[in-house]
Structure 1
C-alpha cells in the first residue's frame, strides 16, 4: 500500500479539533456499519501491517485497537516501551522511523510529551493514529463517547454534556469538548480549582457540582491518584464527597440521563462502586463501542 504525502493527513487521526463535523460523522456512521456485522473477521486489511506503539501504559485502548485490527485481518505488531530500546535512550522518533523502515503500513501511538505527535506525523510517511498524547487529545475515546451518546439519544445537537474531574490533565475532556461543540452540544466542566484548565474556560464554563448534574450525559473522569504527590488531591475520600458521583447523587439524576466514564475507574473515588453498573450507566457499552470505532478509524487509515 502506498499513501502519498498529499493524502497522508486525511488518513491519519491526530485529533478531533481539526476535523469537521462531516468527517467525524462519517467515522461514526462507518462504526455503526461495523457494529452491525455479525462475523468476527472481515479481512479487508489482510495485506497490511500495523504497529501499536505505546510509550505510555495502556490496557483498554491497546486491546481495543488490537481487537479492531485483527477483526479487519491486519497483521499486528505490538510495541512495549518498557521492553524496548527506548529504555536505553533511543528516541521515540527513531523508534517510529525504525518500524516504518521495516515496512509497517500504519502506526497507532500513545505518548506522554505534548506536541511531539504532530511533529512525528510530519516526518514519517505512514498514517499515524493518536491513542492519547500527553494532555492534548485522545480522539478515538471521544469518538466512542460521541457514538455512545448518538446511539442513545439519536443525535448530538442540543445535548447538555457535563465533564467532571481532572480537566487540567485530561486529553479525553479536550477531545470531547472540540468534537461535541461541532455538533451543537453544550459542554460544561466541573473540577476542583487545582484541576481546572483555565485556558478552556472560554470554550466551556466551569460550574458547581449541582449544576453539572443537570445534564443529559454526565461524564466522570478518572482521578489520577498518582497526583497526590503534586498536592492536587488532598484525599480520595474528600474528592468523593465533593466531586464524586455517589449513590446519593446518582439517585437524583432524571431517568433520561446517562452516566459515562472513559475508564479505568477508581471505584468509590470519582464514582461509587454500585453506580458503575447503575441502570443509567453506559460505561461498559462505551468499552464495547470502542472496537467498531477503531475498526472505522483503521479502515480510514488504510483504505
Structure 2
C-alpha cells in the first residue's frame, strides 16, 4: 500500500499551520497501520534514535515499537546514563549520534522550543520528530487523539462538540489537540478549567472558555481530560487536589451531562481521583487505552512519511 502524499515539512515539530489535507492523509495512513496493513521493511537499514531528555512511558515505547515494526534499527537513548550527566549538551549528543549514521531522531526535552533549536543544526537527510518539548507542542499526541476521535465519531469533525478540561496552561498536549481540532474544522471547541490554569497567549483563540465544568459538559461528544502538570506548575495555582477534583474532576454523574454516546479521553499518565475517577477512566465510554494503541499506528505513519518521503 502506497503512502498518500502528505506535504509534511522536513521535520515534525508542531501541528501549527499544517494543512487539513496533510492531517487527513496521516490519519488515513495511520488507520491502515492500525488495521495491520504495512510493510515491515519500509525503514530497513535506517537508524532511528529516541533521544529523550525527560521521562516517558507511552510515547517512548510506542515510537520504539513503531520504528521496529517498519524495520528500522532503533537506539534508545537514556539521558540518566549518558554523557549528558558529564555536561555534554543535547546538540553535541545529537551530532555524535548523527555521525554514527542515525537518520531519524525522536526528541523529548523539558525546554520550550528545544527540538526546533536542534533541527537548525542537523545534516541534510536527518529528520526530527518532536516527542514533546516543554509546554510547546506534542504533535504525535495530537494526531493520535484525532485518530481516536475519527474512529469513534467519523471523519467529519465539523459537527463535533469537543471539551478540553484542566491544566491547559502547562499542557503541550492541549496545544497540539487544539491546533488539530481547528485544522480539521471543529466548530464547537470548549475549554474548561480554573483561570489560574488557562493560558493568555492566544492558545484559546476561537474556543468557548468556561470555568464551570457542569455547564461546559452539556451535550458534548467528546471530553478530553488533561493531567495536572504539577512538575511544571508554580505553587498556589490550585488550592488543593481535593478542591480541584470537586470543581474539575470527571465523575460518572457529571458525565451524564454530555451526549449519551460521548467518549472520554486522557493522554496519561492519569492522576486517578484528581482529574478523573476510576469509574469513568475504566468505564465503557473511555477511549484511553485505544489512544495508547493508536499511538503506535500514528507514529508509524509519521516515521514513514518523514524517513521515506
TM-score category (smaller protein): over 0.9
Q: CA deviation at 1:229?
A: 5.9
Q: Number of aligned pairs?
A: 295
From 214, 217, 224, give the equivalent of 1:213. Answer: 217
Structure 1 pair 227/117, CA: closer, same or farther in 2 (3 Å)? closer
Structure 1 pair 45/240, CA: closer, same or farther in 2 (3 Å)? same
| 8 Å CA contact 1:49, 1:76 repeated in 2 | yes
Q: Tell me whether 1:35 sits opposite 2:37 in the alignment.
A: no
Q: Deviations over 1:135-189 (max 9, x none)?
A: 0110000100000111111122221111101010000110011111111113221
Q: Tell me whether 1:298 sits opposite 2:290 in the alignment.
A: no
Q: CA deviation at 1:252?
A: 3.6
| 8 Å CA contact 2:8, 2:22 repeated in 1 | no
| 8 Å CA contact 1:227, 1:233 repeated in 2 | no
Q: Deviations over 1:37-69 (max 9, x none)?
A: 268x71211211000000011011000101111
TM-score by length of 1: 0.93
Q: For 1:1-303, what aligned pairs fall within 5 Å after superposition?
A: 10-37=9-36, 42-125=40-123, 126-155=126-155, 156-185=157-186, 186-199=188-201, 200-207=203-210, 208-214=212-218, 215-226=220-231, 230-303=235-308
Higher share in helix: 1
Mean CA deviation greater in 199-208 or 136-145: 199-208
Instruction: Give me the CA root mean square deviation.
Output: 1.7
Q: Deviations over 1:176-234 (max 9, x none)?
A: 11111111113221111111101223332321212321311100001134467622222
- Give the 3-state SS of the residue equivalent to 2:51 in structure 1: strand
Determine the structure 1 residue equivalent to 2:3.
Answer: none
Structure 1 unaligned residues grouped into runs of 5+: 1-7
Structure 1 pair 270/194, CA: closer, same or farther in 2 (3 Å)? same
Q: Deviations over 1:71-128 (max 9, x none)?
A: 1111100001111111222111111111111110110000011122212112102100
Q: CA deviation at 1:12?
A: 1.7
- Give the 3-state SS of the residue equivalent to 1:18 in structure 2: coil
- Give the 3-state SS of the residue equivalent to 2:149 in structure 1: helix
Q: CA deviation at 1:9?
A: 6.9
Q: How many angstroms apart in 2 are the aligned matches of 1:182 and 1:254? A: 24
Structure 1 pair 33/227, CA: closer, same or farther in 2 (3 Å)? closer
Q: How many angstroms apart in 2 are the aligned matches of 1:286 and 1:13? A: 20
Q: How many angstroms apart in 2 are the aligned matches of 1:27 and 1:140? A: 10
Q: How many angstroms apart in 1 are the aligned matches of 2:109 and 2:294? A: 23
Q: Deviations over 1:225-256 (max 9, x none)?
A: 44676222221111110000012212443322
Q: How many angstroms apart in 2 are the aligned matches of 1:141 and 1:158? A: 22
TM-score by length of 2: 0.91
Q: How many angstroms apart in 2 are the aligned matches of 1:71 and 1:132? A: 22
- Give the 3-state SS of the residue equivalent to 1:105 in structure 2: strand
- Give the 3-state SS of the residue equivalent to 1:230 in structure 2: coil
Q: CA deviation at 1:282?
A: 0.6
- Give the 3-state SS of the residue equivalent to 2:208 in structure 1: coil
Structure 2 unaligned residues grouped into runs of 5+: 1-6
